[in-house]
Amino acid sequence: MANLAINGGEPIRSKLFPSYNTIGDEEKNAVKKVLDSGNLSQYLGGWHNDFYGGPKVIEFENAWSEYFDSKYSISVNSNTSGLYTAIGAIGVEPGDEVIVSPYTMTASAIAPMIYGGVPVFADIDPRTCCLDVNSVREKITSRTKAILVVHIFGYPTDMEEIMKLSRQHNLKVIEDCAQAPGAEYGGVKVGTLGDLAVFSLNYHKHIHTGEGGVITTNNSALANRCQLIRNHAEAVVGPKEENVIKNMFGFNFRMPEIEASIGLEQLKKLDELLLTRLKNVAILNSFFQKFEGLDLLEYDPENKHVYYIHPLLYDTNSFKGVTREKFLEAIKAELPSSILRETTGLIGGGYVKPLYFQPIYQQRAATCSFNCSRYKGQVDYSRGICPIAEEYHYNRLITHEYMRPGMSQNDLKDVTNAFEKVRENIDELI
């Protein structure tokens, strides 16, 4: 008789895991106050006292700056908008290259193309899945304008070495902190280490406003340019008497008052939510450290990881040649998904297919970037340019969300029991 649920056995758990929901009465009351005021947005797309938004937007930006130790915070309507804004603010234009990660959400690499720039992919560090500094170094050319690092999965990139490279080659550094609010590098919060940083407030992030984002910087000139790009810069630069107007054209990336009011309440919860993640990860790490065939990534204890997801590395040989995909199918059969995620599992193989395999890169579909007469480079998007990213995605990396807030110790015990059960009955999968 089969023991594994994938073969007809009894699963470890049939009850859905709890939903991930950080919204409470605090957010509901804050939204009601905004609704009662009737002031849902106070932006004007011209040079005016209301150019910078309404009272809740201003209050939220100030609170964000205080929490993240940043001089300036600029709210936007998404992390994607924030990346587009940051790339524009540093002056990327046709012919410029920006070094990016192949193993992240697609907006991180698309952002340079909005202004005619060319994304150049560097490989990931096998220890962390963040950008590999040595690969970045190899990709720098006379055309390189910036490095866009991603603190992937919630762990900081090696910012000391990245900033050394930036100073040596006079490059700007943008931090994509979408998955890493509250993460620290050497005791310093990410988002203050580069020239600009962007955070996400998308609904499945650590804290959220449904959709939303925040740009941080300690540079007043860059902050000013971000504020302009966010809100119809082309209509403002004249009356505001701006002298540098490169990339100053019209976007509406503004965050309304309701989202800002939610963000204020969510920010108050961030420390406790991070603590819960770290407690859950500690329980899972103590289990996986002894679980042959699944390895934890290597992290510097001097840095703080905030675990957007919990990554593991799969060793096929330790499981008698059973593929990662077959192993994961067996795990999913033992464990359900969660409330509100009924059709999407909480565990999977890889993360995102390396971005350069997307049609826009393979077909060089952005005329103003790849085919621009001002671009004198020869960018490579062929298979094999980032071998670690490819190997991890197709063969080794497992990502899961079982450490999310809302998971009890009994829930975590079901998770570890499922892994033990599949390993003990691995012969059923051969």
Q: Is there a domain that residue 41 lies in?
A: yes
Mean pLDDT across the chain, nearest whole number? 96
Q: Which domain holds residue 32?
A: 25-267
Q: What is the pLDDT of residue 353?
A: 97
- 212 located within any domain: yes
In a domain, 156, yes or no: yes
pTM over 0.85: yes
At 337, list the tokens: 């998904």
pLDDT for the residue numbered 249: 86
| Cα distances (angstroms) measured from residue 407 to each of 21, 206, 342 | 11, 14, 16
- Domain with residue 107: its CATH number is 3.40.640.10
| Domain contains 254 | yes
Is 295 a domain residue?
A: no
Q: Which two tokens stand for residue 186?
A: 């050497």
- Has residue 82 been placed in a domain? yes
pLDDT single digits (tens) 213-265 = 999 999 999 999 999 999 999 999 999 999 999 999 879 999 999 999 999 99
Quick check: is 290 in a domain?
Answer: no
Judge contact between 196 and 73, C-beta under 8 A: no
Number of domains making up the chain: 1
Sign of CA dihedral 50, 54, 59, 64: negative
| pLDDT score, position 1 | 62
H helices of 111-151, in order, are: 133-139
Q: What is the pLDDT of residue 250?
A: 77
304 in a structural domain: no
pLDDT digits (tens, 9 = 90+) for 87-121: 999 999 999 999 999 999 999 999 999 999 999 99
Segments of the chain scoring below 50 in pLDDT: none
